[in-house]
Chain A
Amino acid sequence: EDQVTQSPEALRLQEGESSSLNCSYTVSGLRGLFWYRQDPGKGPEFLFTLYSAGEEKEKERLKATLTKKESFLHITAPKPEDSATYLCAVQPGENFNKFYFGSGTKLNVKP
């Protein structure tokens, strides 16, 4: 069964304190893994797509990496405006019309 698990559920950081969020997945062949950011009261906003193990993508203070079983979203020197819920989603290769989302990690960065 295709499954996505994100950890931790919530993370509180001080401004400037780097950390990582985890997304582990079980899927029938991976076509793509996606990271999104969701602010309260809004729809998710697309951040990255990763396709194969070893791939990395960066955007400002965020870097996403991918292995065969999990993905990490590394946050370097976070700022309060990075506070949001971060979601990952996988697109299985056997049916790439479907997407499976994790429950998200709620990040709170204190000034």
Chain B
Amino acid sequence: AQRVTQPEKLLSVFKGAPVELKCNYSYSGSPELFWYVQYSRQRLQLLLRHISRESIKGFTADLNKGETSFHLKKPFAQEEDSAMYYCALGGNYGQNFVFGPGTRLSVLP
């Protein structure tokens, strides 16, 4: 069965510090993995996906199939990065997306 875990409910860091939001998954096939973000009073939006290998707003995420992980990283956190972050696993044909429980990132001044 598909499953996504995010071990931290809340992560607080100081501005300028590195950030790593952890995500682990279980899936028997070839996974499609995503990070979604929800800023205060805004709707859920796609941040990045593993297949594009892009860096969005300074965030990157590398798929590690051996460790079944897709951790989100940023070398220098900014206050505007404070938000709720969800790791998600996509099913076949975009069906049955499985979201993790989310990690709230708080970047302190």
Q: Answer yes or no: do A and B interact.
A: no
